[in-house]
Amino acid sequence: MTDEELQAKFLYDNGTLRNKFAIKDPDELSLIEYRGVAERQIALLQQRPRIASFNDLITINKFLFGWLYDWAGQLRNYYISKAGFDFLEYDRFDNAIRYVNNELLKINKKQHPTIEDYAGLLNDLNYIHPFREGNGRSTKLFIQLIALHHGQVIDYPADNAKMIAALDQSDVSAIAKTMALQKAAG
């Protein structure tokens, strides 16, 4: 897909994401999206579904964003980059998904995964960047749900700048330092 085709598919003329409510004001859309996604994140955290494979990430993205966007839960089939950083080519997703599923098996077999385990998974999923939007929120929730099943909670930084810089460098140690791992209450 050309940049023009991608823009026409996903954006209104003013640059706002095409959505099911035809909201073209970016501030209004941002607020509605934030509230709706936050409600759905809380619902999933309360339900605590078990994370077993990459397919669960697809389900999470669809659940968080599907009420607002048609593309939610669909793996991208085009190249993307942000701020000069190229994400994984979509034609390599099959190998990447197998790799992530293997890493999930290793993490789920551990009694107490480390913050480095979670940071490594976050780094891998960030590089894959499988969706049009919502990759960060979907991935963080995905990993948080894994942690919960190990009696753990991950505190992500309130300011993402350091984490994003570490992700841009693919520096798992630096990513881990932006996060904190705690024992889950109760």
* C-beta atoms surrounding 27 within 10 Å: 9
Q: At what angle do helices 135-148 and 93-109 cross, to 10 degrees?
A: 30
pLDDT band (50, 70, 90) for residue 84: confident
Share of residues in the chain with pLDDT > 70 (%): 99
- The percent of residues in the chain predicted with pLDDT above 90, rounded, is 88
155 closest CA partner among 118, 112, 130:
118
pLDDT at 186: 67
List C-alpha distances in Å: 149 to 38, 41, 52, 56.
Answer: 21, 16, 11, 14
Q: Which pLDDT belongs to residue 4?
A: 85
pTM of the model: 0.95
83, two tokens: 């701020």
Question: Which pair of tokens denotes residue 159?
Answer: 């300011």
pLDDT > 80? residue 5: yes
In this predicted model, what pLDDT tens digit does every residue of 18-51 receive, in sequence order?
999 999 999 999 999 999 999 999 999 999 999 9
- Are residues 140 and 157 in contact, defined by beta-carbon separation less than 8 angstroms? no
Average pLDDT over residues 74-84: 91
What are 107-157's pLDDT values in tens digits? 999 999 999 999 999 999 999 999 999 999 999 999 999 999 999 999 998
Q: For residue 65, what pLDDT band results from cuts at 50, 70 and 90?
A: very high
pLDDT at position 135: 96
